[in-house]
Chains A and B, each alone.
Chain A
Amino acid sequence: MPEQLDQPNGRTSTEAVGQAGAGGAMEFAATEAASIGQATGPSARARSLWSDAWHDLRRNPIFIVSALLILFLVLIAIWPQLIATGNPLACDINMSQLGPAPGHPFGFDTQGCDVYTRTVYGARASVTVGVCATAGAALLGSILGGFAGFFGGWWDALLSRISDIFFGIPIILGGLVFLSVVTNTTVWPVVGFIVLLGWPQIARIARGAVITAKQNDYVQAARALGAGPTRMLLRHIAPNAVAPVIVVATIALGTYISLEATLSFLGVGLKPPTVSWGIDISSASTQIRDAPHMLLWPAAALSVTVLAFIMLGDAVRDALDPKLR
């Protein structure tokens, strides 16, 4: 974190007190410095909100578990070959719906494709959609919401009404309508659709956070000392308003992944030959009595992924919320 790079390194309390004495400062000041040193121990270092949050997070088991899971997911999304040697599109119809076999621990699906390989490869679509949609929605939402909160007035009114309109669109219905006309089989139409319907939520949070931060005395103080609007927004308001946006975005990431699966299940999200948990769940759902293993593995992978992101969001929220300290 950039905040940490600015720290003078290796300050100890004894040094601080020594300097205070040498500088001939008033006695009360020296004792004050000493008491600070004692209270926080020799490892006392300057801690910003962010390093404080990081300090908390490292000690939170929920964070550690979810972060390891997510790290693993991202790794296999980038290099699925690490743990799956097969080809998810190489299928043998003779093996249709067969159970686990040596080298095929999760069995085969209707087309005779290896469920294990497909489940591993499915992470890529989910993680890509989740990360890209969240990044897009967070960027768009915080810029629009942030400006609305900062400038207020008609811009704020206009934006709030527009986001109300987007809130009013039922997400599944919207997906069925918008995405059924798209023929592109990549992940991008789905990402675009989620960004389109997801930004108002982030914008509302960002708007509220900016309005709260704007009313702080230090923003007024910065203004009184000659800071212009750009500097006020970027240096004094944004860093103090970004925490709630990060929290909501992390939780949203999990829900966007399940939304992608839902849309793919309904046949309007990702389309074959893209490998996706949603597509696999969809095709397995009709065979649930004959071959439950086909449904079990992609569904479990999806649940664990969504859970991991929501847990991460929870942990981040706990760490960034000063009221919980």
Chain B
Amino acid sequence: MDTLLDVRDLHVEFRTRDGVAKAVNGVNYSVNAGETLAVLGESGSGKSVTAQAIMGILDSPPGHITRGRIFFQGADVLSLHREARRVLRGARMAMIFQDALSALNPVLSVGDQLGEMFVVHRGLSRRDARARAVELMDRVRIPAARQRVGDYPHQFSGGMRQRIMIAMAMALEPDLIIADEPTTALDVTVQAQVMELLAELQREMRMGLILITHDLGVVADVADKIAVMYAGRIVETAPVHQIYQRPAHPYTKGLLDSIPRLDQKGQELYAIKGLPPSLLRIPPGCPFHPRCPMAQEVCRTDEPPLYEVGPKRGSACHFWKETLGG
């Protein structure tokens, strides 16, 4: 399979008044065409910042990419001129945001916003763009698309709005879609429908999909592989099912153990103790050591590399063997 996106040793920091927040510290991942990568992690683990860096929408200042490269279809996008990157956005890579209500402009009708994609990138007339907008709304199964194309975002339900957001991202059939927690703002029944739609469109168009989420449940059915992030690093990567069966990093194990399960009804729910570290003061050594039940002296001093623990599997833990075994 051909590699669509290759992120290598990406470092992003935010220079704030309180100091330098190291949001992303050496992230590596790649996505092939037609493949889904799930990026998993708590808030502040750097998963969204990595996505923003890939899209080229990092707020700068205060955000700065200090090291690393991002190859998209073989080209180093970080060295591209600003205008060339703008043309990539929307046409070749697109993004779906978490809360469609705030990610859609309240004063423009959804038809205008969908049509804008064709006006900006394809130079279509407003009339033609509107016809394409109706097609798109049909494609994401919004009922009565022709009648509703002139409606405003607040007149749609949450699920319908997220469909419109998806339609906008899919409009120009990009090769890569980054979905930043696309279902977090929706209720559970609608979540499944939206994920299904996303997965179906992805299969049809053979797009690469990066699914950013903190919900392990969403991931299992749609992802091909998983990257777990902690404190701006990838701590574990694996094909999706292996991670559920045998996690190779104590953090992943903790995440899996903290999912409520029916057979444990009545027992105390496991929670990873402590809080994620402040990005201004990431602990030396393994950043997870203050919260890790297996932490030893070496964890406080040496930062673990991403050990190869199996085919296409990596774990940034000195004690991955013990984690896998236990």
Contacts and interface: CB of A to CB of B under 8 A. Distances in A.
B97 A220 contact: yes
A231 B138 contact: no
A299 interface: no
Q: Chain A interface secondary structure, helix, strand, loop or mixed?
A: helix
B155 A46 contact: yes
Nearest to A26: B141
Contact of B120 (A20, A220, A221, A227): A227
Among B103, B145, B147, the one with the most A-chain Cβ atoms within 10 Å of its Cβ is: B147
Interface in B93-152: 94-95, 97, 99, 102-109, 111-112, 116-117, 120-121, 138, 141-152
Interface stretch (A8-16, A80-88, A259-267): A8-16
A61 interface: no
B321 interface: no
A49 interface: yes
Interface string A193-227: 00000000000000000000000111011111111
B169 interface: yes
B147 A15 contact: yes
Given A6-B112, A226-B90, A218 B104 contact: yes
A16 B145 CA distance: 9
Contacts of B111: 6
A157 interface: no
A211 to B, nearest CB: 13
Contacts of A65: none
A23 B90 contact: no
B144 A16 contact: yes
A4 to B, nearest CB: 10
Interface string A107-127: 000000000000000000000
Interface in A155-171: none
A174 interface: no
A8 B144 CA distance: 12
B211 interface: no
B89 A46 contact: no
Contacts, number: 126
A322 B214 CA distance: 33
A226 B141 contact: no
Interface stretch (A28-36, A141-149, A184-192, A273-281): A28-36
B155 A217 contact: no
A217 B108 contact: no
A236 B155 CA distance: 19
B86 A221 contact: no
B86 A228 contact: yes
Contacts of A47: 152, 155
Among B103, B112, B143, the one with the most A-chain Cβ atoms within 10 Å of its Cβ is: B143
Contact of B108 (A25, A220, A235): A235
B248 interface: no
A226 B120 CA distance: 8
A240 interface: yes
A7 interface: yes
Contact of A225 (B138, B142, B146, B169): B169
A227 B143 CA distance: 28
Interface of A: 3, 6-8, 11, 15-17, 19-20, 23, 25-26, 29-30, 32-33, 36, 46-50, 216-218, 220-228, 231, 235-236, 239-240
5 contacts: A25-B143, A224-B94, A225-B89, A225-B168, A227-B120
